[in-house]
Amino acid sequence: MKVIVNTGPLVFLSKINRLHILQKFGTITAHRYGLNVIGTLGLLAWAKKKGFIKSFRGEILKLQKADFYATAGL
């Protein structure tokens, strides 16, 4: 399985519209080539499931301190 990890949300400049456009373009391009794309929260969920991190919530709190933002729907 091929996976591209979407690390765009980890960039502190993620509130700039241009970066969002580039991030969306990257996702569309990855899908076009048949690659799976996961975001930061998906990566953390996978890491928790595989035992790479102890606390999903703890990692989210660290991200929030670094101005990470996710919509309520996620």
Evaluate whether residue 73 is within a structural domain: no
DSSP secondary structure, the chain, as one string: --EEE--GGGSTTTTSHHHHHHHHHHHHHHHHTT-EEE-HHHHHHHHHHHTS-S-HHHHHHHHHHTT----TT-
More confident position, 61 or 15 = 61
Q: How many structural domains comprise the chain? A: 1
Each residue's pLDDT tens digit, 3-58: 555 555 544 444 445 555 567 788 888 888 888 888 888 888 999 999 999 999 99
* Residue 72 clears pLDDT 80, i.e. is over it: no
Evaluate whether residue 43 is within a structural domain: yes
pTM (two decimals): 0.56
Evaluate whether residue 15 is within a structural domain: yes
What pLDDT score does 9 carry? 52
Q: Is 52 exposed, middle or buried (0-12, 13-18, 19+ CB in 10 A)?
A: exposed
What pLDDT score does 7 carry? 55
